[in-house]
Structure 1
Amino acid sequence: MFTGIVQGIATVESLDARPGLTTFVIRFPEGSLEGVTTGASVAINGTCLTVTAQQDNQLWFDAMQETLRLTTLGELAEGSQVNFERAARIGDEIGGHLLSGHIHCTARVVSREQPENNCTLTFEVPEAWQKYLFPKGYIAVNGASLTIGDVEANRFNVHLIPETLRATTFSDIHPGDRVNIEVDSQTQTIVDTLARMGYDRPAG
């Protein structure tokens, strides 16, 4: 499990793309990998990946075809920067909301507005996922736990403070870019349960 509190920015050192499998070598900031061992889980742009090897400040990860299809990891290249979070441990403070690291869909950045000391990003998700969007609800974008601002059909926005921009890769995403989305599990459970009970159908 993860908390959605991004712990820093890592850099793709190299990648080896083979049929159905891509191996990523990612370099992490000094001191951020203490206690990490082979087999550990790390969220890369919100996607839970398993450490397959390590050396100094570098970790190796394998991403299979289905992961590449459902996420933006297949768009990464040498030099790409990514958000990372190590798996939460019992007793850790939950500063965001609980995440599984399983990406539901990708979203497209529709607009970026950046008045002084503020940044508002608007995203568009596939229509099938708009039913999980609620103003003031939780959502994870590239692994960061965020509060939804306004919702209009299958579009929503988030408001980012300077610290969020500093600590994540959001400072470098622009209209047309794609991001990974994990909807809030509690919201998904409630919406799906009500749908099974017939409450999503028009009255009459």
Structure 2
Amino acid sequence: MFTGIVEELGEVVAVEELADASRFRLRGPVVTEGARHGDSIAVNGVCLTVVEHEGAEFTADVMAETLKRSSLGALAPGSRVNLERPTPVGGRLGGHLVQGHVDGTGTILRREPSEHWELVTVSLPGDLARYVVEKGSITVDGISLTVVEATDDTFSVSLIPTTLALTTLGHKQPGAPVNLEVDVLAKYVERMLRYGTAPEQPAQEG
């Protein structure tokens, strides 16, 4: 489980195309410290498994389904990526509960800079709109953000200087794809409302 607080802005070193997947080599000296085979690292919000680790670099295999459902397929050597390790038990929940399971992709539509922050509007797939609400949480490229405004097909977020300086959203321009993960709590609530409450248990005799 992640919290959407990006630890560092890493870089794609190489991409190897396999028969039904891709193998990424990425550089991130912070997230690779103490990394081991099998560990999880979120890359632009996608939970990937460390295959190999050497120095400040690690490799991860990305299956075709993940490439299709996320924006990782658009990455190339030199691309910058947001990196985050899972939150340890007892760690601080700085953002919100993030699984690293991308629900879909959006596109940056416009950026509106201000003196100390920037408003970014992103397209929203129709099947995700019901999970996105004003002042709710959403993960964009692995970044936990608060929704400023939501419509049926867009949402906007405000980016503070730290987010602009230390994440991919600081340089992505209109037209760029981003990974989206909605708040998992909203999906659980929807499912419970759909199926109703659990049936009453019969009284026990005795």
TM-score, normalised via structure 1 length: 0.93
Residues paired across the two proteins, number? 196
- Match runs of 1:169-188 below 5 Å: 169-188=168-187
Decide whether the 8 Å contact of 1:131 with 1:191 is kept in 2: no
Q: Could you tell me which amino acid in structure 1 is paired with residue 22 of structure 2?
A: T
Q: Tell me which structure has the larger Cα radius of gyration.
A: 2
Match of 1:142 in 2: 141
**Distance in structure 2 (CA, Å) of the matches to 1:122 and 1:196:** 34
CA distance in 2, matches of 1:32, 1:75: 22
Residues 84 and 102 of structure 1: is their aligned pair in 2 closer, same or farther, counting only changes over 3 Å?
A: same
1:158 aligns with 2:157: yes
Residue correspondence of structure 1 range 59-70 to structure 2 within 5 A: 59-70=58-69
Q: CA RMSD in A?
A: 1.2
Question: Does the Cα contact within 8 Å between 2:31 and 2:84 map onto a contact in 1?
Answer: no
Secondary structure of 2:102 counterpart = coil
Runs of 4+ in 1 over 6 A off after TM superposition: none
SS where residue 150 of structure 1 aligns?
strand
Are the counterparts in 2 of residues 28 and 57 from structure 1 also a CA contact under 8 Å? yes
What is the match of residue 200 of structure 1?
none
- Please, what TM-score do these two structures have when normalized by structure 2? 0.92
Aligned positions of 1:1-204 closer than 5 A: 1-29=1-29, 31-196=30-195
In 2, the alpha carbon distance for the partners of 1:33 and 1:19 equals 27
Q: Which moved more, 1:114-123 or 1:75-84?
A: 114-123
Distance 2:50 2:83 in 1: 13
Question: Within 2, Cα distance between the matches of 1:115 and 1:182?
Answer: 26
Matched position secondary structure for 1:148: strand
Give 1:43 deviation, angstroms: 0.1
**Matches of 2:27 and 2:108, distance apart in 1:** 26
Relative to structure 1, the CA distance from residue 156 to residue 196 in structure 2 (aligned partners, 3 Å threshold; closer, same or farther) is: farther
- The SS at the match of 1:9 is strand
Contact 2:140 2:181 in 1 (8 A): yes
Structure 2 unaligned blocks of 5 or more: 197-206
User: Do the aligned partners of 1:15 and 1:23 also contact (CA within 8 Å) in 2?
Assistant: yes
Structure 1 distance, partners of 2:194, 2:112, is 35
Query: Partners of 2:150 and 2:2 in 1: how far apart?
Result: 25
Which sections of structure 1, spanning at least 5 residues, go unmatched? 198-204
Q: Percent identity of the aligned residues?
A: 38
Tell me, yes or no, if the aligned pair for 2:31 and 2:41 is still in contact at 8 Å.
no
